[in-house]
Amino acid sequence: MNASGRTGTRAGRLAVRLVAPVSLVLFVAVTVVCNIATNAAAPARTTSVATAIGAALASSATAAIDPAKVVAVAECSNCHAREFTAWENTPHHGSYKKLRDGKEIAEKLGVKKTYRRTGLCVQCHATLMNVEDKVKAVSGVSCQSCHGAAADWLNVHNSYGDAGSADAETDEQRNQRHKVADAAGMTRKDRIYLIAANCLGCHTVPQEELVNKGGHTAGSEFELVAWSQGMVRHNYFQKDANAPATPERLRILYVVGRTVDLEMSLRGLAKATADGAYKTSMQARVAAAKGEVDKIVAAGGDAVKGIAGAIGDIKDDMAPDQVGDIPDKVAAAVKSFAEKNDGGNLASIDALLPTPDKYKGTAQP
């Protein structure tokens, strides 16, 4: 029996299918808010504390993660069987297969048939892992796409020491375990800024040539609450069912998601080098995101005053060369907000949040 309350039989079969010929890619831009459970039965693994990925995400829409540190999916699903089943029923699971529909885009970009194995496309549609000294794309957007390549933190995030279990941990023990896992590259569910940046690093499609020359859609109408609380929700850890987020967490998700959308849209706009669909779309995205954050600022009061100060220099129809360091200021403000607020003082923004009927799909029970 695993930590999610189900046996790992199915995951064991998956391991046979995946470990030898398969790999998991890590690109840092997906749309899922996950819950990590325990893995006491995981094989022994040398664990080192690596540099956290936060700084890289603050300066780049995506941050490449070493495929050599990506582990087989069975390492996750052995303890997270219910989460795995929920993932199988999402578009993330099939995002790699969707690349078959990208042949026309690849041809416009002059990319040959290897586009489904290497290059730009797999960064946001697949999971890569080293297999027999080769990097291969093997599945769609998966666990480590959001939570980080697990080799360095797999046996850290569930190491309860003298406590023996998550239930028996003291707050001090839990905080220390989280600190070590964070430093080793894990993006836990409570690191909401990093999760939002992962999602929007892909969902803003910050690639000018891909849009202008390849004809790729210029971003998704992504909103973190609606997209994380529908079919991709898998909040099972220490719970009997797939629990919805609390009102307080929904508020934090909403503020962070909207503000990171603005940040990433600004970063995308700054990359524009020519007139065309990409530049026009990024300008429109910045304007739309700014409008949503303005509503939060108007309703949120002192709780969001740092964000209010960071967005003051954003202009209508801003040119790429006018963006400057505004995204960095926005990032600093929203990270500070996420660290200091628990959502309890933000009931005033509840009217802005999407209602469950607006969520993307239905969560698994």
134 and 268 both lie in a single domain: no
Please give the Cα distance from 129 to 133 (Å, whole number): 9
Residue 119 banded pLDDT, cuts 50, 70, 90: confident
23 or 138, greater pLDDT = 138
pTM surpassing 0.85?
Answer: no
116 and 174 both lie in a single domain: yes
Sequence-distant contacts of 102-111: CB under 8 A, at least 24 apart? 104/215, 105/210, 105/214, 105/215, 105/216, 106/214, 108/213, 108/214, 108/215, 109/209, 109/210, 109/213, 109/214
25 and 121 both lie in a single domain: yes
**Res 41 pLDDT > 60:** no
144 and 290 both lie in a single domain: no
Q: Considering 143, 163, 189, which residue would you say is the last residue of a domain?
A: 189
- Residue 98 forms part of a structural domain: yes
53-106 pLDDT, tens digit per residue, is 233 333 333 456 788 999 998 899 999 999 999 999 999 999 988 888 888 999
241 and 324 both lie in a single domain: yes
pLDDT at 251: 98
Of 9-23, 108-122, 248-262, the least confident: 9-23
Structure tokens, 221: 């109408």
- Residue 287 forms part of a structural domain: yes
Q: Considering 134, 166, 189, which residue would you say is the last residue of a domain?
A: 189
81 and 157 both lie in a single domain: yes
**Res 226 pLDDT > 90:** yes
298 and 226 both lie in a single domain: yes
**Res 180 pLDDT > 80:** yes
- Residue 2 forms part of a structural domain: no
- Residue 258 forms part of a structural domain: yes
- Residue 3 forms part of a structural domain: no
pLDDT at 12: 35
Of 34-43, 244-253, 262-271, the least confident: 34-43
80 and 185 both lie in a single domain: yes
269 and 174 both lie in a single domain: no
**Res 209 pLDDT > 80:** yes
**Res 107 pLDDT > 50:** yes
Q: Quick count: other Cβ atoms within 10 Å of Cβ 281?
A: 21
61 and 168 both lie in a single domain: yes
Cβ atoms of 24 and 129 within 8 Å: the answer is yes
pLDDT at 166: 85
pLDDT at 335: 98
52 and 124 both lie in a single domain: yes
Grouping H, G, I as helix, E, B as strand and the rest as coil, residue 356 is helix
Sign of CA dihedral 260, 35, 154, 205: negative
Share of the chain above pLDDT 70, in %: 82
- 258, 260, 262, 268 alpha-carbon torsion, rounded to 10°: -140
251 and 102 both lie in a single domain: no
* Domain interval for residue 109: 9-189
Query: Considering its fold, how many domains does the chain have in total?
Result: 2
Closest CA to 120 of 23, 214, 235, 191: 214
- Residue 160 forms part of a structural domain: yes
Q: What is the mean pLDDT of residues 117-127?
A: 84
**Res 47 pLDDT > 90:** no
pLDDT at 101: 84
256-292 pLDDT, tens digit per residue, is 999 999 999 999 999 999 999 999 999 999 999 999 9
Average pLDDT score over the chain: 83
Cβ atoms of 281 and 219 within 8 Å: the answer is yes
- Residue 216 forms part of a structural domain: yes
Please give the Cα distance from 297 to 291 (Å, whole number): 10
319-341 pLDDT, tens digit per residue, is 999 999 999 999 999 999 999 99
